[in-house]
Each structure stands twice: as C-alpha cells, then as structure tokens.
Amino acid sequence: MSGHPILPADPITLPLLPLRDVVVFPHMVIPLFVGRPKSIKALEAAMEAGRQIMLVAQKAAGKDEPKPEDMFEVGCVSSILQMLKLPDGTVKVLVEGLQRATTQSITEPGEHFVAEVTPIPPETEHAPEVEALRRAVTQQFDQYVKLNKKIPPEILTSIGGIDDPGRLADTIAAHLPLKLDAKQAVLDLADVAKRLEKLLDLLEHEVDILQVEKRIRGRVKRQMEKSQREYYLNEQVKAIQKELGDGEDGADMEELEKKILAAKMPKEARKKADAELKKLKLMSPMSAEATVVRNYIDTLVNLPWSKKTKIK
C-alpha cells in the first residue's frame, strides 16, 4: 500500500472532505480541485495533523452545503501528497487512497467536518473462488479496454502486475467511467469475492454496450461509404457525359422522371421504374445496355395504367 501501514479496525477521528461526483478507492492517486471554504479548512487541518483525511462521496453532487445524512457511509482514509493554493482562492490537492473506512459519526465542532471512522482492514487470505473471479474480471477488463478507445491499453500492463485480488478490483473500478452509485457500490463491498462479482457484472454490462455501439458505428460507416461511392460514380458519369458532349442527357433524364410520375403507375411498377431510371443514370448513354433499359422504361411509361376497360 505504497509503504503505508494497514490501519487496524479501531475508531479514529479525522477531518472529513465531502466529494462531488468522485469516489476514491484505496491505492488510487487523484488530483482534486477544492473550492468550498469548509472543505479547504478540512484540508488545512489534515495537513497540520499527519496529512490523513477521510474522503466521502456526496449522494447528490449539486448540494453546496451537504449535511452528514447527505454523504455515503463508506469512504476512504486518504493521504494528502501535495497541496497547492491557486490565485482564485481554490485549492488543488493530490491525494492517495489508503484504506476503506466506515463513518460512525460526523460532527462540525469548528469550521469543517470531523468524522469518527472505523478503518476496514483488507483481506489477506482468499478462497479458491476468488482467484477464479480475479481471472474472469481480468479477461473481461481486457476485452473492455480493446473496445473502449478512451482508455489507454498501457493500463493492461499495470493491471497485469497486480496479484492481490482486492487491489485489482479497486484499480479496475477506479478506471471505469461508471455512475457515482455504481462506483460507490463497489467501494461498499469489503468482501473481495462479492466485490469481484459486482465488478464482473458491471464490466459485462459495459462490454455489451460497447459492442452494440461498435455495430452501430460499423453500420453507419458502411452506409456513408455506400452513399459516397454512389455520389462519386454519379459525378464520374456526369464528367464523362460532359466530355462526350452529352450534356443534354441530364434534361432527358428529367423528362423521363416526369413521364414516370405522369403515368400514375401502381406502387410496385413505380418502384421498378425508379430503380431502372437510377440504373440508367449511371450508364453511358451510348451503351447497348442503356438502350435496353431506356426501352424498358418507355414501355412501362406508355402502358395504359390509369385507363379502365368496360367489360360487356
């Protein structure tokens, strides 16, 4: 744990910092930008007393003045690595998550929150099923990274070097773009087997979504390529016709379109006529095939579609 000793499951009192839209996991190093006066005071108090602070996510990020009941029960005892006051009055702080902890009580004796917390020591022994779950989670995360271009593939190297199943679960959870409640649900689970099961379920769901997105992107790309190809071919035909002095062919096509419209064909016949006209536009007017298609369209146009015969 980066050289930090494991905290025993004895209550300790620490300054508390409520977080908006962020869940900090053990072993996670993350920069935070802090602007609320009460939160800045909590950081200053922590800096004066061993640099340890309790980080807890707010249930609703929009609440500017959260009360104890507005915070989740499980958070992370963390260490302040760096703290920098910015010109605009806010503070940039680099923190490292150390250990899960349960908040027993939150008070406000002065200018910031103070919490009595009970650290949750990590499991040191694991049943065989934990190793099976660890492998399944690793494989699923590997697939997730290959599908999600936003996560650098280098993360797989770093994940591969983690032997401890609990730490592996926390590291993967920290890298997933999950909603706050989903991340908090992983943090809440001290039992490593249950944590890995939860993470596996979340990963499978995310992979399913990414696979659907990939199929949609592929379909859209193919459609765009088809449209671009048709446009390019049409432009080529127009250019060739212009070079051959067949510029009047465009007007001829327009006249043919008008005739098809005026013929008042049934739906199926109209569909066939439109398809043949589209084919004709892509052909050289001088080709034998174009003549055949043109004659076919003329035949369709000249049939008495709208005339009725009286049967005596």
Return the pLDDT at 47.
93
Return the pLDDT at 158.
84
State if pTM tops 0.75.
no
Query: What does the pLDDT profile of the chain (312 residues) look like in tens digits?
Result: 455 778 888 899 999 999 999 999 999 999 999 999 999 999 999 999 889 999 999 999 888 899 999 999 999 999 999 999 999 989 999 999 999 999 999 998 889 999 999 999 988 778 889 999 999 999 999 999 999 888 888 888 888 888 899 999 999 999 898 999 999 999 999 999 999 999 999 999 999 999 998 889 888 888 888 888 877 877 776 676 666 555 556 677 888 888 888 888 888 888 988 898 888 887 777 778 888 888 888 888 888 877 666 555
d(CA 275, CA 281) in angstroms, rounded, equals 10
d(CA 211, CA 19) in angstroms, rounded, equals 32
- Give residue 250's identity as a one-letter amino acid code: G
Q: Helix 128-147 vs helix 192-243: angle between axes, to the nearest 10 degrees?
A: 20
Q: Tokens at residue 256, please?
A: 């043919």
> Mind listing the domains of the chain with CATH numbers?
12-119 (2.30.130.40), 128-214 (1.20.58.1480), 249-302 (no CATH)
